[in-house]
Structure 1
Amino acid sequence: MEKFTVVGLVLVSLCQASPLPNFVLLFADDLGYGDLGFSGHPTSLTPNLDRLAADGLRFTDFYSTSPVCSPSRASLLTGRYQTRSGIYPGVLYPGSIGGLPLNETTIAEVLKPLGYATAMMGKWHLGYGANGTYLPTRQGFDHYLGIPYSHDMGPCHNLTCFPPNVKCYGFCDVGTVTVPLMKGETITQQPVDFVNLEDAYSDFATEFIRSSAQKRQPFFLYYPSHHTHYPQFAGWKSVGRSLRGPFGDALLEFDSTIGNILQTLKDTGVLNNTLVFFTSDNGPELMRMSRGGNSGLLKCGKGTTYEGGMREPAIAYWSGVIKPGLTHSLSSTLDILPTIARLAGAPFPKVQLDGVDMIDILFNHGEGQRKAIFYYPIDPTEKYGVFAVRMGQYKAHYYTRGASHSETTPDQDCRLISVLKYHDPPLLFDLESDPSENYNLSVKDHPELVSVLQEIKELKENFEASMQFGESEIGKGTDPNLAPCCNPQCSPKPECCRCEITY
């Protein structure tokens, strides 16, 4: 009864408050569980995220729904597994025919009917399509500044990633257009200027927050960063400042933008009425070695259904409302939409949601509603279903497989040589005592765990019975002519797609 009363009083007070709460959603790219200062990395410089962690509620057991970009972003914005919306297998590309279906309801579309201003800056990666069919402006966002897909999806070997003239390191996609920067639905730069990109984002966020605050209009700002995805880049304010090299400089630049956002919230007087939530899309790309992030004590990284691939750092911060602390409650990116909807008093989308609200966790540091985490691979199928299930402290692996994204690590289980394996009985790990998934708990040695495996099996079967796979948007293929070009009539493509529009 006490738990209900505490949560209920908070919600009543929020609902009576004027104006409606604002929401800032910060989403890192390929950031590992062990990459941040507050999580123990000795040379990462992340003062603003460290402060958020100290003053907010930090999650130790928070998960994305996929070990790669596009699917995890679809789930974040819709509260539904990527299998329902068709964002599988893998990721979308510049010329992809499909994208996040327009009949899916995003967080922005949940909030707009209530009068919210909505804006996004950064990495979209949920489709471009014919004539910009799938851009954020078609999915509920009033304002957009960013790159419509991953910034390595275009030739980059001649581009400058660090000042004064340090070229981007390594291999990016070739045979397609150079990476564009878009404002709304207009390409303003092609190729994008990486050195000054983050400053543009910071200015965009400041202007949007100030404008909304002056109008006394509630707002939703979504910032899915390019940092710290490969190839790393940073501008003059961050280059050379980290002890961690290019990766650390890119991470510092991301952290600095977060600091600017927080300062703007404070300066405009809306900090105490704003929920700031931070997490990442998937684990680190270990194949890049020191340029690819670190999963800390967790096993493997991007591309795998081990903990390092899908367990993410996460922080909820609301000055004066959410008490600082630490929670071990199971939570997911799926839970962000229901949480925001409930806090804003918005109706849920009339579809089957996979997320549950985190109200009890945020305001009471309670256990929350989530009973299980289901781990899908990069290429989910109805035949194999989920690869692993976590229930409470236990995680059962029904299938395991390595991934190219996690190559170079000494752990052979993470690498491509570790082919798909079926486990019967499933591998079972106690993630509270063994978060690195080192010690399989055999039921022969632990007969008391037979009932645990049976309960996990029932959860898995019930979940898979409820899952309806949508048509694969990625399976629709690609058309090179769809890749965004600022000068669509030019020739020869893609080399001629270069321009800069000034306002």
Structure 2
Amino acid sequence: MHVTLCFGLSTAGPRNFPCYVNDSRMNSTCFLLFFGFCLCFSGAASPPNFVLLFADDLGFGDLGCYGHPTSLTPNLDRLAAGGLRFTDFYCTSPACSPSRASLLTGRYQTRSGIYPGVLYPGSVGGLPLNETTIAEVLKPLGYATAAIGKWHLGLGKNGTFLPTRQGFDHFLGIPYSHDQGPCSNLTCFPPDVKCFGVCDVGCVTVPLMYNEVIKQQPVNFLDLEEAYSDFATNFIFTSVKKKQPFFLYYPSHHTHYPQYAGEGAAGKSQRGPFGDALLELDNTIGNLLTTLEKTGVINNTLIFFSADNGPELMRMSRGGNAGPLKCGKSTTYDGGMREPAIAYWPGTIRPGVTHELASTLDILPTFVRLAGAELPKVMLDGVDMTELLIKQAKSKRETMMFYPTDATEKHGLFALRLGKYKAHFYTQGSIKSSTTPDHDCPGSAILKAHDPPLLFDLEADPSENYPLPLSKRPELQAVLEQIEKVKQQFEASMVFGVSQMLKGQDSSLEPCCNPQCTPKPSCCQC
């Protein structure tokens, strides 16, 4: 009889079980574990590492592995080919800050107060410190935690809301969006070629921060991606050397407008500035994969990729592509909130495609279970995806709620998806989804209430072009009744947190590497 150790995962933590394997038979204790199978090792299993990749303003149709004919994304294509690719994966908001809040907390942004709109350099508010992030869940288990890239969940007085106050040991990045400041220094390679686009004026130049200290202002965008890649690589090497499990969160600036790219990517794609920016993101992902392989932890690392919201269609070819989906950024049509998503874990996740419903909300509870951590003692909106990822089983998620960028208690949900059906209670376009021929997308498409709601079959009509004829199909009445019941139950459970955006702006909070200088903001350069 051969005896090894069987590693079981639960919310109570990892446990070792004796697994007795005799020829083709094993004991039932080992077989009937959480996943319905036995993971047998020659020694004690290490907790898994997590790498969470989050693109910015990336559309459902922007990646090569999702059908774009000219995007150059060999490393993301490799993840998709060797991992699980999602076709029905959603963020929670068609805008940056609220979407990121939900990703890190497993809760709709309305609960944490990250609404309406997004945070700015001088915002008084930010992600409340009583919210529990993925990093804060993992740290008690000994995980090393790091964030690189775009934070956009607040800066606040004395760095109150920075990643280092939200569970991350290390942070290298920009505390908000890279267009929220004068970006006359935003260049592409070669250095004398300016990137297309303009940025906000009247506030400080964009800073690069290490932890809570400004290291460079304005940031040198040509060297930024290399700095991120080096930082992430060193973080992984150091964690492995210390035999410490790690959580690396990389919310990229790419492919948010205005796009930029350094020497390694500029001019290298067939898709112009957008394609170059996407390629630069893909190159960094390739460097991370190489590092995980070199350190020997690739088979013990779950890599998850998705994006914060759909494409900014007003930028036309420089704004991204929603593929077959309707509209884009700042709308609650699927083009604004259905995202590419890939889960990659060699030897654990089988290659494939899933049409099951899933969301950024589900990442926190999934990481919790895989790490053996404890769920936060708050109302969570995410569900555990472990069986979906490892067994490609049916998703525990049956519904998805759609709040607009300017969410209010008065209007509540704009839309709700139940199974393959999506009901729109309100529709509204946005200037950020203008320039397309679809009259439902631009800002001129004013807020409309729908009673009964517009009902779409997303399996037959993912473009949301053809509302189902309710009067001609009486069998759909049962569907509407179920949707209304789910909506009422959900909204009864929703307690809106105090809006952090409505706390206002204070220009003195804008980060300045020389805080005593004058005149501001132009003197904030170091």
TM-score by length of 1: 0.97
2:234 corresponding residue in structure 1:
207
Query: Residue type of the partner of 2:265?
Result: S
For 2:188 and 2:113, how far apart are their aligned partners in 1?
A: 34
Shift of 1:162: 3.4
Evaluate the alpha carbon distance shift between residue 11 and residue 157 of structure 1 in structure 2; reply closer, same or farther with a 3 A threshold: farther
Pick from 98, 118, 135: which aligns with 2:162?
Answer: 135
Unmatched segments (≥5 aa) in structure 1: none
Task: Between 156-165 and 412-421, report the one with greater CA deviation.
Answer: 156-165
Contact persistence 1:19–1:217 (CA under 8 A): no
Give the aligned partner of residue 466 of structure 1.
493
Task: Tell me how far 1:367 sits from its aligned partner.
Answer: 1.1
Cα distance in 2 for partners of 1:448, 1:6 equals 41
Given that 1:157 and 1:169 are in contact with CA atoms closer than 8 Å, whether structure 2 keeps it comes out as no
Counterpart for residue 31 of structure 1: 58
Tell me which residue corresponds to 2:301. Answer: 274
| Aligned equivalent of 2:280, options 244, 247, 253 | 253
Shift >6 Å, 4+ stretches: none
Match of 1:217? 244
Report the Cα distance in structure 1 between the residues aligned to 2:419 and 2:74, rounded to whole angstroms. Answer: 32
Letter in 1 for 2:371: A
* Cα distance change, pair 19–468 in 1 and its aligned pair in 2 (3 A): same
What is aligned with 1:407?
Answer: 434
User: For 2:297 and 2:124, how far apart are their aligned partners in 1?
Assistant: 40
Match of 2:421 among 382, 394, 418: 394
How big is the shift at 1:160? 2.0
Q: Partner of 2:174 in structure 1?
A: 147
Answering whether residue 357 of structure 2 is matched by residue 330 of structure 1, we say: yes
* 1:42 partner letter: P
Where do 5+ consecutive residues of structure 2 fail to align?
1-27
- TM superposition shift of 1:50: 0.4
Task: Please state if 1:348 is matched with 2:375.
Answer: yes
Q: Is the 8 A contact 1:95 1:481 kept in 2?
A: yes
- SS, match of residue 447 in structure 1: coil
Structure 2 residue 469 is the aligned partner of structure 1 residue 442? yes
For the structure 1 residues 45 and 7, does the alpha-carbon distance in structure 2 shift closer, same or farther, using more than 3 Å as the test? farther
Mapped partners of 1:413, 1:101: distance in 2 = 35
User: Which of 71, 92, 98 is matched with 1:65 structurally?
Assistant: 92
Deviations 1:379-438 (A, max 9, x none): 111111100000111100000000111011111100111000011111011000100001
Cα distance in 2 between the residues matched to 1:150 and 1:10: 44
Preserved contact between residue 146 and residue 182 of structure 1 (Cα < 8 Å): yes
1:417 matched to 2:417: no
Match for residue 206 of structure 2 among 168, 176, 179: 179
The aligned residue for residue 188 of structure 1 is 215
Q: Which amino acid letter does the alignment assign opposite residue 364 of structure 2?
A: L
CA RMSD of aligned residues (A): 1.5
Distance 2:244 2:228 in 1: 21
Amino acid at match of 2:170: H
1:498 equivalent in alignment to 2:498: no
Give the aligned partner of residue 83 of structure 2: 56
Which whole-Å CA distance do the structure 2 matches of 1:167 and 1:488 have between them?
Answer: 29
Partner of 1:98: 125
- State whether residues 158 and 168 of structure 1, in contact with CA within 8 Å, keep that contact through their aligned partners in structure 2: no
Tell me what 2:24 maps to: none
- 3-state SS in 2 of match to 1:444: helix
SS in 2 for 1:8: coil
Q: 1:5 to 1:100 in 2, by over 3 A?
A: same
Aligned-partner Cα distance in 2 for 1:324–1:306:
29
Residue type at the aligned position of 2:48: P
SS at match of 1:399: strand
Provide, for residues 91-122 of structure 1, a one-character-per-residue CA deviation record: whole Å limited to 9, x for no partner. 00000000000000000000000000000100
Partner letter of residue 497 of structure 2?
A: G
Alignment CA distance shift 1:431-1:177 (3 Å): same
Pairwise CA distance, 1:11: 7.9
Structure 1: how far apart are the matches of 2:272 and 2:511?
Answer: 32
Residue correspondence of structure 1 range 39-54 to structure 2 within 5 A? 39-54=66-81
Deviation, structure 1 residue 359: 1.0
Task: Return the TM-score normalized by structure 2.
Answer: 0.93
CA deviations over 1:442-467 (Å, ceiling 9, x no partner): 21121111100110111111000000
Counterpart AA for 1:478: Q
Cα distance in 1 for partners of 2:98, 2:80 equals: 26
Pairwise CA distance, 1:157: 2.8
Deviation at 1:360, TM superposition (A): 1.5
**Contact 2:35/2:387 (8 A) holds in 1:** no
Q: Which residue of 2 aligns with 1:487?
A: 514
CA distance in 1, matches of 2:44, 2:232: 24
Equivalent pairs counted in the alignment come to 497
Q: Which moved more, 1:294-303 or 1:4-13?
A: 4-13
Q: SS where residue 309 of structure 1 aligns?
A: helix
Shift of 1:12: 6.4
Q: Is the 8 A contact 1:6 1:364 kept in 2?
A: no
Question: 2:143 & 2:37 partners in 1: Cα distance?
Answer: 21
**Whole-angstrom distance in 2 between the partners of 1:59 and 1:159:** 34
**C-alpha distance 268-446 of structure 1, shift in aligned 2 (>3 A):** same
Task: Give the alignment partner of residue 331 of structure 2, picking from 301, 304, 320.
Answer: 304
AA aligned to 1:61 is D
Match of 2:9 in 1: none
Contact 1:359 1:368 in 2 (8 A): no
CA distance in 1, matches of 2:357, 2:436: 28
Shift of residue 364, structure 1, vs aligned partner: 1.2
**Alignment check: 8 A CA contact 2:48 2:245 kept:** yes
Q: C-alpha displacement at 1:164, in angstroms?
A: 2.4
Q: Which amino acid in the other structure matches residue 63 of structure 1?
A: Y
Residues 7 and 364 in structure 1, CA contact (< 8 A), matched pair in contact too: no
* Structure 2 counterpart of 1:120, from 137, 147, 160: 147
Report the secondary structure of 2:64's partner residue: coil
Question: How far does residue 10 in structure 1 lie from its aligned partner after superposition?
Answer: 5.3
CA spacing shift, 1:174–1:268, aligned 2, 3 Å: same
The alignment status of 1:168 with 2:190, answered yes or no, reads no
2:185/2:218 contact within 8 Å kept:
no
Percent of residue pairs bearing the same amino acid type: 71
Secondary structure of residue in 1 paired with 2:240:
helix
Seen in structure 2, the aligned counterparts of structure 1 residues 171 and 414 have a Cα distance that, compared at 3 Å, is same
CA distance in 2, matches of 1:11, 1:138: 39
Kept in 1: contact 2:188–2:266 (CA 8 A) = no
Q: Structure 1 pair 17/381, CA: closer, same or farther in 2 (3 Å)? A: farther
What's the CA shift for 1:158? Answer: 4.2
Distance 1:162 1:417 in 2: 37
Distance 2:520 2:322 in 1: 40
The answer to whether the Cα contact below 8 Å between 1:68 and 1:378 also exists between their aligned partners in 2 is yes
Q: Distance in 1 between matches of 2:195 and 2:152?
A: 21
